[in-house]
Structure 1
Amino acid sequence: MEREKFGTRLGFILVSAGCAIGLGNVWRFPYITGEYGGAAFVIMYLVFLAIFALPALIMEFAAGRASQRSIARSYDVLEPAGTKWHTFKWLALAGNYLLMMFYTTVGGWMLAFVVKSASGEFVGLESSQVADVFNGLLADPVQLAVYMLIIVGVGVGVTRAGVQKGVERVTKVMMMALFVVLVALCVRAVTLPGAAEGLRFYLMPDFSKMFAGATLAEQLATFGDAVYAAMGQAFFTVSVGMGGMSIFGSYIGKDHTLTGEAVRVA
């Protein structure tokens, strides 16, 4: 049977970007940017994205395209005879299992909040009361299990439908919807009181926050934490390190350059 391909190039880019865009970019990025000096952190993050994360993404794409397999089998296909490179796949598989445990749980929380919001449960509640609702959800294993299983079921249904009719079709709609939501949030953010100060904080580097501390040792420790956070964020951005992107690399045709596709996804 001939291996199924993405129907359009846009579909490949959106699916790859959809794999990369998640909590690390939407929630974690602004949080650690605020902690480490706004644009000062962004500059360091972009450097790590260019010199570490992008090359790693290209390598994952290369392994996928050369083997035409996922991380579970690519090492077996590509390794020289007699070598043991295939043992590394178990680390990647373990990482992917842990990732799915995390995201199916968080997806269940989100679905629960959609249901609660639609039913009017949050009407008139203060933020502390909404937090109480969330804590109540965490204390109810039956609710958690039901919502998580629904998320798993949706995921299984989409992937069983295939690359074009399932993953690509759904991702196109959801990524476009995410784009619209983010644009609306950006417009809302820059029209709030204090928006000018917020933009100034984000765009004007404050390197003093990278070296916060009373002693030289504390300053170096803070800088080390900032470097670690920026490097981790760069890898989060393009979702490399566990072999997930090698799956998408296996669908890149020979008529497209791996570097070009990696830059577009990033």
Structure 2
Amino acid sequence: MKERETFGSRLGFILVSAGCAIGLGNVWKFPYMTGKYGGAAFVLIYLVFLVVLGLPILVSEFAVGRASRKSTAKAFHELEPEGSNFHKYSYMGMIGNYVLMMFYTMVAGWTLYYGYVMATGKLQGADSAQITEFFGNFQKSTGTMTFWMVLAVFLAFGICSLGLQNGVERITKVMMLCLLGLIVVLAVHSATLDGAVEGIKFYLIPNFENMKEAGIGNVIFGAMSQAFFTLSIGIGAMEIFGSYMKKDLTLAGESLSILVLDTFVALMAGMIIIPACFAFNVEPGAGPGLVFITLPNVFNQMMGGRLWGALFFLFMACAALSTVVAVFENILSFAIDLWGWSRKKAVMVNIVLVIILSMPAILGFGPWSGIQILGEGTNIMDLEDFIVSNNILPLGSVLFVLFCASKRGWGWKNFLKEANTGKGVKFPAGIRMYMLWVIPVVVSVIYLKGYYDMFKPKGMEYLVPWMIIGVAMLALVVWIAFGHSKSKKDRS
């Protein structure tokens, strides 16, 4: 049996894992979520969720991966006691990875395109209205969007085809170090813009009136889903890197390093975009297009802005591609673990599959724009994001925690032994009940409240069927975790 690949260095593991977490969730989604949900109050709640929910779940994913030496497709099969249902989550985890890539590859293509646009000066001298119109026209151009999505897919799978150390680790390290250096420079510049002070106040000083206006339930659920989305926890995207880890360091210490790095980039991205919104009179809650409308304005006012703009979108593309590479690595591992495919065969098949699956999101801005399943004004990308961010990520996270803390799963003693193997910060042994009951209950309550707050304003014709779907999804998780076991054997 071929020995499992491992990372060549600790820095490689941290930067690749952080690269999975640090992506569009930080530099694209976090700033507009902050604007949409009231600024600093949202940031505060988001940080709380990162620590009290995100950290234990991240450690759980790494532990499952390192102990099993398998991807999500087979990890639960390796570790669960006889008769357990947890292996059935494997299908949900695999689906989650593919659905995430159905829109993430498209937006990664946006970042590549804007790097080209800024480098060639296509937006030089354009005012806010012209930049907004340019982005709108781009989204309606199916051919252009498809080309850049396909380019992103080929680049990411090309990196994965080189293997873990020679491809994923070596190239992601370079991308991440470049991104970290540039984002600090841009944040400092944005904070010194005329009119940026009000934006800094909005971003850093909590105003709970803003939170009430957005809806307290919406803000809390948005902060929770963003914590899951930015860490890429719940679908096994982190679990796969746990399977490549060595045993010399504890998982809590490594997880803290990744959490700090991820949070730093998210906060710096907000410092680039939110003050710039106020400086250039752009609505901070403008949605997914915010970064593609606001930042070109910033660069147009900056000395050497064409160069800085090209570099920012290039390294923003690096952030996006680092996540795409990480998830693609997980997707490839499914085929390798399940069917024994070679890496080359898995790459070739999935290139075609992912390109096909990415087309609905692109068509949703053009010919299929009339498909508005989540309500008027939404599109296919919104639906795909909702499936992943609002459903599979939080519910999958609950399953990882229950698997590690429950006797019906892997068992607490086994989890602690794996998490605390090596040198570094030890995972606390006394929080089993917190992980077994508090995390699942809190996530479940906020999960259902989020459904209610999201669909109630759209009317009962939306609320009732979607609430039924939400309850059904939660019931599925309960069945997987606590369903009748054919054997009394456990691993407590």
TM-score, structure 2 as length reference: 0.50
Deviation, 1:58, is 0.9
CA distance in 2, matches of 1:84, 1:34: 41
Contact 1:48 1:230 in 2 (8 A): yes
Is residue 40 of structure 1 aligned with residue 5 of structure 2? no
Could you report, residue by residue, the CA deviation over 1:40-94 in whole angstroms, capped at 9, with x for unpaired residues? 2222222211111111111111110111011111122122223332211111111
Corresponding residue SS for 2:225: helix
235-244 vs 89-98, which deviates more? 235-244
Is residue 228 of structure 1 aligned with residue 221 of structure 2? yes
What residue number does 1:217 align with?
none
What residue number does 1:131 align with?
132
Give RMSD over aligned pairs.
Answer: 1.9
Deviation, 1:174, is 0.7
Give the structure, 1 or 2, with the largest relative contact order (CA under 8 Å, sep 6 or more).
Answer: 1
Deviation, 1:6, is 1.1
What residue number does 1:218 align with?
none
Deviation, 1:188, is 0.8
Deviation, 1:162, is 1.1
CA distance in 1, matches of 2:80, 2:3: 24
CA distance in 2, matches of 1:131, 1:204: 29
Deviation, 1:206, is 1.3
What residue number does 2:254 align with?
261
What residue number does 1:65 align with?
66
Contact 2:34 2:40 in 1 (8 A): yes
Deviation, 1:183, is 0.8
> Quick one: percent identity of the two aligned structures?
51
Residue 120 to residue 186, structure 1, CA distance change in 2 (3 Å):
closer
Q: Give the AA of the match of 1:23.
A: L
Structure 1: stretches of 5+ with no match in the other structure: 213-220
CA distance in 2, matches of 1:154, 1:54: 31
CA distance in 2, matches of 1:79, 1:185: 47
Deviation, 1:37, is 4.1
What residue number does 1:249 align with?
242
Deviation, 1:22, is 1.9
Contact 1:5 1:251 in 2 (8 A): yes
What residue number does 1:148 align with?
149
Residue 150 to residue 79, structure 1, CA distance change in 2 (3 Å):
same
Q: Give the AA of the match of 2:61.
A: E
80-89 vs 51-60, which deviates more? 80-89
Contact 2:4 2:244 in 1 (8 A): no
Could you report, residue by residue, the CA deviation over 1:149-168 in whole angstroms, capped at 9, with x for unpaired residues? 22111111101111111111
CA distance in 2, matches of 1:238, 1:43: 17
Contact 1:32 1:229 in 2 (8 A): yes
What residue number does 1:216 align with?
none
Deviation, 1:139, is 3.2
What residue number does 1:237 align with?
230
Could you report, residue by residue, the CA deviation over 1:114-153 in whole angstroms, capped at 9, with x for unpaired residues? 2333333223333333333333333333333222222111
Residue 15 to residue 41, structure 1, CA distance change in 2 (3 Å):
same
Could you report, residue by residue, the CA deviation over 1:160-209 in whole angstroms, capped at 9, with x for unpaired residues? 11111111111111111111221121111111113333333333221222
Residue 7 to residue 189, structure 1, CA distance change in 2 (3 Å):
same
What residue number does 1:18 align with?
19
CA distance in 1, matches of 2:67, 2:51: 23
CA distance in 2, matches of 1:23, 1:70: 23
Q: Report how many aligned residue pairs link the two structures.
A: 258
Contact 2:4 2:69 in 1 (8 A): no
CA distance in 1, matches of 2:112, 2:73: 30
CA distance in 2, matches of 1:129, 1:222: 33
Corresponding residue SS for 1:138: helix
121-130 vs 60-69, which deviates more? 121-130
60-69 vs 139-148, which deviates more? 139-148
Q: Give the AA of the match of 2:45.
A: M
Contact 1:35 1:209 in 2 (8 A): no
CA distance in 1, matches of 2:205, 2:186: 21
Is residue 93 of structure 1 aligned with residue 86 of structure 2? no
CA distance in 2, matches of 1:37, 1:144: 31
TM-score, structure 1 as length reference: 0.89
What residue number does 2:207 align with?
206
Q: Give the AA of the match of 1:222.
A: G
Contact 1:12 1:168 in 2 (8 A): yes
What residue number does 1:111 align with?
112
Q: Give the AA of the match of 1:184.
A: V
What residue number does 1:31 align with?
32
What residue number does 2:182 align with?
181
What residue number does 1:215 align with?
none
Deviation, 1:11, is 0.9
Corresponding residue SS for 1:120: coil
Structure 2: stretches of 5+ with no match in the other structure: 260-492
Q: Give the AA of the match of 1:166.
A: G
Q: Give the AA of the match of 1:127.
A: S
Residue 73 to residue 237, structure 1, CA distance change in 2 (3 Å):
same
4-13 vs 75-84, which deviates more? 75-84
Residue 111 to residue 94, structure 1, CA distance change in 2 (3 Å):
same
